[in-house]
Each structure stands twice: as C-alpha cells, then as structure tokens.
Amino acid sequence: MKITVIGTGYVGLVSGVCYAELGNEVVCVDKDAHKIKVLENGGIPIYEPGLQQLVDRNVQQERLYFTTDLKRGIKDSEIVIIAVGTPPLPNGEADLRYIEFAAREIAALIENYTVIAIKSTVPVGTNNRIKQVMKEVTEVEFDIVSVPEFLREGSAVNDTFNPDRIIIGGESQNAIDRIVELHKPLNAPFVITELRSAEMIKYASNAFLATKISFINEIANICERLGADIREVSRGMGLDKRIGKDFLNAGIGYGGSCFPKDTKALIQLAGNADYDFKLLKSVVEVNQMQRMGVIRKLKYALGELKGKTIAIWGLAFKPGTDDVRESPAFEITNYLLKSGCMLRLYDPVAMGNFRSYVDHANIFWAENEWDAVASSDAVCLLTEWDIFKQIDLKVFAKQMEEPILIDGRNVFNVKQIKDAGVTYYPVGSSPINEMVFELEKSKATN
Ligand SMILES: NC(=O)C1=CN([C@@H]2O[C@H](COP(=O)(O)OP(=O)(O)OC[C@H]3O[C@@H](n4cnc5c(N)ncnc54)[C@H](O)[C@@H]3O)[C@@H](O)[C@H]2O)C=CC1
Ligand SMILES: O=C(O)[C@H]1O[C@H](OP(=O)(O)OP(=O)(O)OC[C@H]2O[C@@H](n3ccc(=O)[nH]c3=O)[C@H](O)[C@@H]2O)[C@H](O)[C@@H](O)[C@@H]1O
C-alpha cells in the first residue's frame, strides 16, 4: 500500500518505518526541516532502540522516504496517517491546533478518495470535528478512521510489531477494511468500534495505567511507615491474574509526554461534560507528591541541603529513551537548585535534551556515572538505565566518604547493599520506616 505519515516524532517515525518494513511504500512528512535533514542524511532525530537499522534497510530498498513537502506523498496515498502532537494547553485540555492544521493541509491536496487515519491521542469527538474541518476545504471524498497508538518509548519498535490489540474506530466499512488490511501482518486482535469509543479507549487505557502506578506508590508510602517491603507486596499482588504484574513498580511517579498530559486532558474532558473525575484527580495529585519522596530522604540523610553536592543518575523519564518531557528529574533538580545544592548530573542519552531546558551555574554535566559521583555527598538514582543497575556497589562505596544512595526506582536488593556497606534509601521499604517515625516525632516536638 502507499501511505503518507504526517509527523515524524516518537509515534509517526516509528509507525512509518514499521509500515515500510511490512512492505508498504511510506512517505514520512514533517514540518521540522531539521528532523527531515537528519533523516535524509541517514540518521534518526530520536533515540529509539532498533529504529536506525530499520530506517537504513527500508531507505535502501526504496520503500521509505522523508520530506517536508506534503504534496510529494499525498497524491497517490491510499492512507494518510496523522501523528502530530496534541500537547496540553495551560488548562490541561489537548491543543488541537496541529492536528486541525494538518487536516486542512491534507484536504487541500487530496485528489481521489483517501482514508485519513488519526493516530494522535485526541479528545472524544475530535475525529468528527476533523471531518467537518476537512469538508469545509474539499469536495473530494474521504473517510476518517481513529487508530489510537499504544506503543511505549524505548520499546516502540517491538510494541509496534507485537501489539496487544488494534483499535479501529470508524463509520465507513471500506475505510475500516483498508486499515485492517494494513495491520493484518501483525497478527493482533482487531477491535472495531464507533469513533468516539476508539478515542475513549486510548484515554481510558493511559488513565488506568497511571492509576495503577499512583496506587502502588501510595501503598509504597504506607509500607515505608509500617515496615513492609513494597517489592514483596507488588510481587504478591501481581501474581493474581486479575491484577497483573505490570505497572506495579513503585518509584518517583510517572513522567513522559503522555500519562501526565492524557490524565489531565481526561479530567478536563469529563469536566466539560459536567462530570467530576475525582479518582483521576487524586492519581495526578499523588503522582506530583511522589517526586518529593527523594527530597524527603535526602533531607533525612544529609540534614541541611544548602551547600551539599548531589549526584543525579538518570534524567530521562524512563530508560531506553532520550525523551525528557515531564521527567521527574525536572522537579527534583529544580528543588535542589533552589535549596542551594550543587548538582552533578549524568544520563547516558538524555543529557542534551535535558540541558536544552535547564542550565544553571551550580550544575556540573558529568561525563559518566562515576564522574557524577566524585565529591558528592549523596547519589539519587532517578532512571533505571542498565549502566546504573550494573554498578558495583563495593566500588561505589569507596568513591564516597559516606556512601549514601537514594534509589528512586528500587534497582538494588538488600543483600547487595548490606555487603557493600552503602546507606540505602529505596522506595517503600525499611529503613525508611524508622526515618518517617523520626520525622513525625521531630514535627510533633517543633
Ligand atoms: N510519544 C509516545 O510514546 C506516544 C504518543 N502518542 C500520541 O501521538 C501523538 C504524537 O506524539 P509524539 O510522536 O510523541 O509527538 P512529537 O512531538 O514527538 O512529534 C510530533 C511531530 O509532528 C510534527 N508536526 C506538527 N504539525 C505538523 C504538520 N502540520 N505537518 C507535518 N508535521 C507536523 C512536529 O514537527 C513533530 O515532529 C500525540 O498525540 C501523542 O499523545 C500516542 C502513543 C505513544
Ligand atoms: O500514550 C502514550 O504515549 C504511551 O504512554 C505510555 O508509554 P510511555 O509513556 O512511553 O512509557 P511507560 O513505560 O508507560 O512509562 C511511563 C511512566 O511510568 C513510569 N512507570 C511505569 C511502570 C511502573 O510500574 N512504574 C512507573 O513508575 C515510568 O517510569 C515512566 O515515567 C503507555 O505505556 C503506552 O501504552 C502509551 O502508548
């Protein structure tokens, strides 16, 4: 099939490349001339494991093209996929400016019947609105189909080739059939729905996963106070098939370009329909608070933070990506800078992106994980990259006068820690319970 994908970000680029790998002829279009230049020169503008090899192969086999010129692909395309951003407006609602603009551009260029598939995450009712927008511009026949995307950054290629399900929302059987045909090689179940239901499935799925994370984080906070171990609790819960083991890792709260944005958008969407989504509001609030666990532990370990040097391991919102959008590292580093700390930051791939948002005279950009640790009073692990997981804790202990490790991702086990003699503060287990009691005591006496 001939396909045009609009937007070569984390979703559009991966999807376009994977459709090419399935044997389709794909033109990927972006307004960002820099991104397209990188792609035309044989590189990729994002860090995503496995993507570069697929780009190389499909460009070489002349199935994959990159351009800033929408006209180039759209003329012969049977399917045009929209994968542009839907970032949050200040009130939390999704900003639909980019998608409406893209829709108008498509409408002005199509010459024959075309199927328009919307992969961007959009509020319920948007597909219908886009249809109206396009009808104002063209008399050529087209159909709109909602095909929400569920890939995760860092495992996006594998997720695209092995999806749990393909959701297709639409009104025209012809258009639905075309989308089914495109995805048939993936061997995943199809769920065919109304447009509005497909849009809601995407928001509800992300909101549910975010809820699972905030739930387990609250259980972790209670474990800290009562002396239970969240890792044992998560394992014990997750073996119940009705609960499932995924997304039960307690930590410093979810980040990324989607959970924070989509939870807030769904709260707004519900509010606009006169429904107060209380549960999801709490999920968001708990998530915000969870980042402060790292600070609380630092204060307990070091006392006064002013003048202390803190190493941060990991700036990306999760391992396997260079994406720092809504990364918990922003709130934590900002708080520490405001408290008068010196910071030594290191991330294996996200340093450049993080630095484009934050710079400060008190930040030292370390060359590697050990360079960050040098002369630090404490180390905070914020992203569970493999290089941090593989750290030899005995060597680590020798690098610091008093080795203190605040682990925001529960990467190390108690035995490793005991053997190495590191003072260790994980999420949701001892010895934090003692610390919390002491804090409570000191609050009560002050
Ligand atoms: N990042 C992720 O893991 C996932 C994102 N989504 C959703 O997919 C959508 C895209 O997300 P990302 O890929 O992360 O965004 P992104 O910000 O990485 O990429 C969007 C791209 O669209 C381009 N663009 C905007 N308007 C354009 C136009 N008129 N013509 C051509 N290009 C245009 C931008 O220049 C940018 O490169 C969002 O709605 C998001 O919620 C869904 C599932 C996973
Ligand atoms: O709509 C989207 O954009 C995507 O959002 C998430 O994918 P992503 O944000 O790439 O990454 P996740 O692996 O879901 O992690 C999100 C955040 O939750 C955190 N997390 C995840 C799992 C867990 O058990 N605990 C936890 O704190 C991660 O550290 C990360 O900060 C969803 O998992 C995808 O299905 C969805 O397509």
How far does the chain reach from its first CA to its final CA, in angstroms? 71
pLDDT of residue 433: 40
Which residue type is seen at 154?
G
The atom number, within ligand 1, closest to the CA of 102 reads 29
Return the CATH class of domain 291-445: alpha beta
Catalytic residue ranges: 258
Pocket test for ligand 1, best of 5, 11, 164, 165 (most atoms within 8 A of CB): 11
**Given 1.10.357.10, 3.40.1010.20, 3.20.20.105, 1.10.1040.10, which CATH number is that of 202-289?**
1.10.1040.10
- Is there a shared CATH topology between the 2-193 domain and the 202-289 domain? no
- Strand-strand pairing, 166-170 and 190-193: parallel
d(CA 91, CA 210): 19
Q: From the alpha carbon of 328, which atom of ligand 2 is closest?
A: 31
Ligand 2 centroid–CA 318 distance in Å is 8
Q: Output the residue whose Cα is nearest ligand 2's atom 20.
A: 254
* pLDDT of 297: 94
Going from the Cα of 370 to the center of ligand 1, the distance in angstroms, rounded, reads 35
Measure the CA–CA gap between 93 and 83, rounded to whole angstroms.
18
Q: What residue type is assigned to position 338 of the chain?
A: K
Residues 6+ apart with CB under 8 A from 261: 86, 87, 88, 94, 326
User: Which residues touch 268 (CB under 8 Å, ≥6 apart)?
Assistant: 91, 92, 93
Most distant CA atoms of the chain, gap in Å:
76
All residues at 6 or more sequence positions from 14 whose CB lies less than 8 Å from its CB, including other chains: 48, 51, 151, 156, 157, 160
For the domain made up of 2-193, give the CATH fold. Answer: Rossmann fold (3.40.50)
Whether the upstream peptide bond of residue 431 has omega within 30° of 0, thus cis, is yes
Q: How far apart are CA 190 and CA 164, in angstroms?
A: 9
Residue 13 Cα to ligand 1 midpoint, Å, equals 9
The pLDDT score that the predictor gives to residue 415 is 80
Strands 166-170 and 79-82: unpaired
Specify the residue for token string 């997750």.
238
Residues 58, 81: Cα–Cα separation, whole Å: 18
Q: Using the mean position of ligand 1's atoms as its centre, give its distance from the Cα of residue 375 in Å.
A: 41
Nearest CA owner, ligand 2 atom 8: 152
Q: Could you give the dihedral angle defined by the CA atoms of residues 420, 425, 426 and 428, in that order, rounded to the nearest 10 degrees?
A: 140
Which of 13, 84, 152, 407 for a ligand 2 pocket mutation test, highest count of atoms within 8 Å of Cβ? 152
Domain ranges in the chain?
A: 2-193, 202-289, 291-445
This model of the complex carries an ipTM of 0.98
pLDDT of the residue at 430: 67
Atom of ligand 2 at shortest range from CA of 213: 25
pLDDT of residue 419: 84
Residue ranges with strand state E in 11-75? 25-29, 64-67
**Contact residues for 272 (Cβ-Cβ < 8 A; gap 6+):** none
Name which residue sits closest to atom 29 of ligand 2, judged by CA: 318
DSSP 8-state code for residue 206: H
Query: What letter would DSSP give residue 87?
Result: P
Q: Alpha-carbon distance 51 to 87, whole Å?
A: 24
Return the best residue to mutate from 120, 167, 213, 234 for the ligand 2 pocket (most ligand atoms within 8 A of CB): 213
Q: Which atom of ligand 2 is nearest to the CA of 202?
A: 1
Output the pTM of the full model.
0.95
* Residue 405 backbone dihedrals phi, psi, to 5 degrees: -125, 120
Taking CA atoms only, the protein residue closest to ligand 2 atom 17 is 254
For residues 369 and 199, give the distance between their C-alpha atoms in angstroms, rounded to a whole number.
42
195 by DSSP, 3-state: which?
helix
In angstroms, rounded to a whole number, what is the distance separating the alpha carbons of residues 207 and 201?
Answer: 10
Tens-digit pLDDT string for the chain (446 aa)? 999 999 999 999 999 999 999 999 999 999 999 999 999 999 999 999 999 999 999 999 999 999 999 998 888 899 999 999 999 999 989 999 999 999 999 999 999 999 999 999 999 999 999 999 999 999 999 999 999 999 999 999 999 999 999 999 999 999 999 999 999 999 999 999 999 999 999 999 999 999 999 999 999 999 998 989 999 999 999 999 999 999 999 999 999 999 999 999 999 999 999 999 999 999 999 999 999 999 999 999 999 999 999 999 999 999 999 999 999 999 999 999 999 999 999 999 999 999 999 999 999 999 999 999 999 999 999 999 999 999 999 999 999 999 999 999 999 987 888 889 899 999 998 654 455 445 555 555 55
Ligand nearest to the CA of 265: 1
